[in-house]
Chains A and B, each alone.
Chain A
Amino acid sequence: MRMHAQRGQTLPVWTFGIITTLMLSLMVFNYANNVRWQIRAQNASDAVAQGIMSVQTQHYNEMMATLHAAAIEEYRIRRTMAAMLYILQGSGGCTTGATSASQPFDCGIAYASLRTNYVAQVARYTQLVNQMQAISQYTPAQQQIDMAAIAQSFETTCTSTGPTGGDCVFKFAVTSPTARPGLSGAIVDSSGELNGDGYALPANIAPDFQPLQIEVTACAQVTSPFASFFKMQAAPFYAIGRAGATSAMVTQEWFAPGGLVNPNSPGGTQFFQQPEFVESPTNTANATVGYNPATFCTATSTGYDWYAVHWCTNNYTSSFTTPSPGSTGSPTLGGFFGHTVNDEYSVWTGWWGVLPLAPYSGTFTPSAGNCASNVAWNSP
């Protein structure tokens, strides 16, 4: 009897021990679930913030592409007009009689071809100017409306139904986009780099040209996996993610389309802008002059084609100073230097993308209006 009672003494130890262990396990499980939801909320807000900022970056990229297309066309117009004037000036190597080695172009044929090309070029240029006007109609206010619509789409189009949706268990609150502070102005350093380098922007910069920053919160009130444990009630918890995003120039280019090879061209060897023989009805090089890439851009060379459109470049020298051996300092950049002696069409510009940004709007207090409620802890 006595021995039997002694054996039974471990039962309460086991009982309380197991209950304690279970409770601790549940607490850890709840903690892990909480962490999992916070990470999920953060990822959801990151996705929405960067997704909606694409509205502005797409707009900028469209603007840059149209500007570039128009600039290419205008340069072409100017060169073609120059060629017509050469003919009217009696210059450039054409003749109104029989062609010869010294006067290899027929003035009449060349003039007619140039004029035809000029009219077509101006027509295209007009379209691009109109297109630029259309692009400019997309105001910041309209962009904000589209951003809100995209955020709404993230809430209603779920990733579970396709690859383009968002995490639908959250509600997203989007702050009004604001201009990113601390911008530098773009300057031109002839034959060198153009960039901000701390150069001040003019006052009253148009809102359209102000890269925006935006902040998004993803919020859900999640029920606890053990909402009721005997008489204990576990309150739901908030899963909140906050993310910022901004639009920024992610590539910066000094682009000379007549000197850079387009890898997607036939054979992968042609320049982005090939020479254009606008004085020829068939856009081919003059049979006598021919086409020599080595001298095509050199106006002082014999056989220079004064009537063609030359997409050429000039040579510049990079100037920088490397740190002394053993020094950990950064190299000092000094820009590019050179003389302009050839035709040149080059451009400084870049492409835009969205980058993450730290939240900047201060304390966030979730409210019923911007937080999804009663979300099951195991929601997919």
Chain B
Amino acid sequence: MAETAMAISFTLILLFGMIQLVALSYFQVAGDAAVFVAAHEYTLGVSPATIASAESSMVPQGIATNVIYTAAPPNPVGSGLFNSIYGNNINNNERDDGYTLVRPQNFTAYLNNSAAFPGILGNLPVNSASVEGYYLMTNQQMNQFGTGPDNSATLGGNYLNAANASPFLPQSDATIANMNTPPYYLPSPVIQVCGDPWQAGGGHTFNTQCGNPHVWFLGLGEFLENSNYAPTSGLTGVSATQAFATMAQHQRIYANLIAAFPAYSGATADLYIGYVQKQFANYNGTTGTLPGSSTPCTPNICGAGYSISGVNLCWYDPMGYWESSATKPSWQPQPLWSNESQKCNFTNDDAGGDGVKNTQGWNGASPALVYEWDQPNFPGAYMLPGNYPPNPTAGGSAAGDPGY
């Protein structure tokens, strides 16, 4: 009897141990599954409470409720590269550039010590962990803080934690919406313009220093933002009414203006320079004559500025700035003049219609041609609707023209 009892006890213990082992295996597999799902879901923006609730019906309660989430700081991105590119320009009192990054980091979901298999001889901890990629937006708002990409010591805390950086969740990123936009491209082009008076014949005393420099904001054709996200054609090409139409319009103007600047050989350089100057001085008209001569100024000699593809050169640029108004900031371009009957005749004209007459006597094409009027919302809606003329060159007119 004793022998039988011992044999059965031994057998039962072995069998019970085997069953315990099988049950433990189940707990282990359940734990593996739970942390995988938890890590995956959490990095997609699902809350831990929701994950635990969902998992409680799939795995043992002791597993579902004991998942821990830990973010690992992003791997260093190489501050040397940023230092090399930005140098001292990242100084916040002297900034001219910046960056914002969405950075990957590892995120771990694992089981804590309370996740245990309730064995007959006591709880047996079950360990499991899963690592998922996670995205963190750092150095937000063009790195307005001016800190390094891996900085963790400024502003009183870890720069990479949730207080100063945010997980990038496109579907709910209210706090970091600045990276939840359509594609955009916004150039900020400015050039200095020398406003020294016209010197017919060239070569006035310059002293290598312009006496009257001005700042001009240019309007480039390459922009993509709210104002052209919804082209009237619904398409994104460069043809008229499409999103990038301005690019083709500018291209046509630049190509046409080549004829306004005739080429010449070196031996007659100064003479030809004088011819072209005369052309511009005559408002690009054919009524001018060559300097010291009664010979008419022709396009081949003086430049073809008078009429380019049916659009007068002056049309391109009424030189709004040169009728500079004391009532407007020096950096702000003036409204363009759109009275075609008065084109190319700006001297003593109130070209911009702002009550100030042009007294500069300088006409012709300028680097400011096609500026802000074709970008009404850039850089600050200076040109409100109704203040800028229709585009004289909308649409292509010749084969090979990008907008044709």
Residue in B46, B133, B170 whose Cβ sees the most chain A Cβ within 10 Å = B170
Residues of B within 8 A of A31 (CB): 26, 29-30
Determine if B187 and A333 form an interchain contact, defined as CB atoms under 8 angstroms apart: no
Q: A186-B225, A203-B230, A299-B213 are in contact. Are A249 and B257 (CB under 8 A)?
A: no
Residue in B14, B36, B96 whose Cβ sees the most chain A Cβ within 10 Å = B96
Give the number of residues in B that approach A within 8 Å (Cβ atoms). 148
Q: A10-B11, A71-B187 are in contact. Are A32 and B29 (CB under 8 A)?
A: yes
Determine if B186 and A194 form an interchain contact, defined as CB atoms under 8 angstroms apart: yes
Would you give the shortest CB distance from B244 to chain A, in whole angstroms? 6
A102, A207, A211: the one within 8 Å of B206 (CB) = A102
Residues of A within 8 A of B225 (CB): 185-188, 194
Query: Is B243 at the interface (CB under 8 A from chain A)?
Result: yes
Q: A89-B199, A208-B235, A253-B97 are in contact. List 16 more A-B contacts (CB 8 A).
A: A13-B11, A21-B15, A31-B26, A39-B36, A63-B224, A95-B203, A96-B269, A126-B402, A190-B380, A202-B230, A206-B235, A254-B99, A306-B210, A344-B189, A345-B189, A358-B171
Query: Is A259 at the interface (CB under 8 A from chain B)?
Result: yes
Within 8 A of A (CB), among B353-395: 362, 364-367, 377-380
Would you give the shortest CB distance from A5 to chain B, in whole angstroms? 10
**0 or 1 for each of B98-121: is its CB under 8 Å from A? (1 = yes):** 111110000000000000000000
Determine if A320 and B84 form an interchain contact, defined as CB atoms under 8 angstroms apart: no
Determine if A346 and B188 form an interchain contact, defined as CB atoms under 8 angstroms apart: yes
**0 or 1 for each of B60-104: is its CB under 8 Å from A? (1 = yes):** 000000000000000000000100111101001111111111100
Chain B, residue nearest A337 (CB): B95
A129 and B208 CA atoms in complex are apart in Å by 37
Determine if A122 and B258 form an interchain contact, defined as CB atoms under 8 angstroms apart: yes
Q: A322-B155, A356-B43, A357-B171 are in contact. Are A75 and B187 (CB under 8 A)?
A: yes
A136 and B248 CA atoms in complex are apart in Å by 13
Determine if B220 and A21 form an interchain contact, defined as CB atoms under 8 angstroms apart: no
Query: Is B209 at the interface (CB under 8 A from chain A)?
Result: yes
Interface locus among A77-85, A153-161, A170-178:
A77-85
A210 and B229 CA atoms in complex are apart in Å by 9
Interface locus among A141-149, A225-233, A308-316, A371-379:
A308-316
Determine if B188 and A347 form an interchain contact, defined as CB atoms under 8 angstroms apart: yes
B174, B179, B234, B235: the one within 8 Å of A195 (CB) = B179
Determine if A89 and B362 form an interchain contact, defined as CB atoms under 8 angstroms apart: yes
Interface locus among A108-116, A215-223, A362-370:
A108-116
Chain A, residue nearest B81 (CB): A263
Q: A126-B255, A136-B236, A263-B84 are in contact. Are A188 and B380 (CB under 8 A)?
A: yes
Determine if B247 and A70 form an interchain contact, defined as CB atoms under 8 angstroms apart: yes
B140, B182, B367, B402: the one within 8 Å of A205 (CB) = B182
Residues of B within 8 A of A104 (CB): 208
Determine if B242 and A78 form an interchain contact, defined as CB atoms under 8 angstroms apart: no
Determine if B177 and A357 form an interchain contact, defined as CB atoms under 8 angstroms apart: no
Q: A31-B26, A77-B254, A340-B331 are in contact. Are A91 and B11 (CB under 8 A)?
A: no
Determine if B238 and A136 form an interchain contact, defined as CB atoms under 8 angstroms apart: yes
A355 and B257 CA atoms in complex are apart in Å by 46
Residues of A within 8 A of B95 (CB): 315-318, 336
Query: Is B33 at the interface (CB under 8 A from chain A)?
Result: yes
**0 or 1 for each of A107-132: is its CB under 8 Å from B? (1 = yes):** 11101100100110010011001101
Query: Is A261 at the interface (CB under 8 A from chain B)?
Result: yes
A57 and B250 CA atoms in complex are apart in Å by 28
Determine if B183 and A188 form an interchain contact, defined as CB atoms under 8 angstroms apart: no
Would you give the shortest CB distance from A168 to chain B, in whole angstroms? 22
A211 and B171 CA atoms in complex are apart in Å by 12
Residues of A within 8 A of B277 (CB): 88-90
Q: A81-B365, A88-B273, A355-B170 are in contact. Are A209 and B191 (CB under 8 A)?
A: no
Would you give the shortest CB distance from A121 to chain B, in whole angstroms? 8
Residues of B within 8 A of A342 (CB): 190, 192
A90, A211, A306: the one within 8 Å of B204 (CB) = A90
Question: What are 5 inter-chain pairs, A to B, with CB distance below 8 A?
Answer: A84-B261, A96-B201, A187-B226, A248-B180, A251-B101
Query: Is A234 at the interface (CB under 8 A from chain B)?
Result: no
Query: Is A20 at the interface (CB under 8 A from chain B)?
Result: yes
Determine if B25 and A304 form an interchain contact, defined as CB atoms under 8 angstroms apart: no
Query: Is A291 at the interface (CB under 8 A from chain B)?
Result: no
Determine if B250 and A74 form an interchain contact, defined as CB atoms under 8 angstroms apart: yes
Residues of A within 8 A of B247 (CB): 70, 129, 132
Within 8 A of B (CB), among A269-310: 289, 299-304, 306, 310
Query: Is A235 at the interface (CB under 8 A from chain B)?
Result: no
Would you give the shortest CB distance from A354 to chain B, in whole angstroms? 11
B: residues with CB less than 8 A from A are 1, 3-4, 7-8, 11-12, 14-15, 18-19, 22-23, 25-26, 29-30, 32-33, 36, 40-41, 43-46, 81, 84-87, 89, 92-102, 133, 135, 140-142, 144-146, 155-156, 163-164, 168, 170-172, 174-175, 177-194, 196, 198-210, 213, 215, 217-218, 220-227, 229-231, 234-239, 242-244, 247-248, 250-251, 254-255, 257-258, 261, 263-264, 266, 269-270, 272-274, 276-277, 280, 331, 362, 364-367, 377-380, 402
Would you give the shortest CB distance from A238 to chain B, in whole angstroms? 15
A96, A115, A254, A328: the one within 8 Å of B202 (CB) = A96
Chain A, residue nearest B100 (CB): A252
Residues of B within 8 A of A319 (CB): 144
A208 and B233 CA atoms in complex are apart in Å by 12
- Which 10 A-B pairs have CB atoms at the shortest separation, nearest pair first? A108-B269, A195-B178, A90-B199, A82-B367, A313-B96, A17-B15, A90-B202, A186-B184, A71-B222, A299-B192
Determine if A74 and B222 form an interchain contact, defined as CB atoms under 8 angstroms apart: yes
Residues of A within 8 A of B94 (CB): 315-317
Determine if A136 and B230 form an interchain contact, defined as CB atoms under 8 angstroms apart: no
Residues of B within 8 A of A325 (CB): 156
Within 8 A of B (CB), among A1-60: 6-7, 9-10, 13-14, 17-18, 20-21, 24-25, 28, 31-32, 35, 38-39, 42, 60
Determine if B89 and A259 form an interchain contact, defined as CB atoms under 8 angstroms apart: yes
Query: Is A246 at the interface (CB under 8 A from chain B)?
Result: yes
Determine if B273 and A87 form an interchain contact, defined as CB atoms under 8 angstroms apart: yes
Chain A, residue nearest B87 (CB): A261
Would you give the shortest CB distance from A55 to chain B, in whole angstroms? 14
A64, A78, A115, A122: the one within 8 Å of B367 (CB) = A78
Residue in A77, A132, A244 whose Cβ sees the most chain B Cβ within 10 Å = A132
A86 and B181 CA atoms in complex are apart in Å by 41
A38, A68, A75, A263: the one within 8 Å of B189 (CB) = A75
Residues of B within 8 A of A248 (CB): 102, 168, 170, 179-180
Would you give the shortest CB distance from B219 to chain A, in whole angstroms? 10
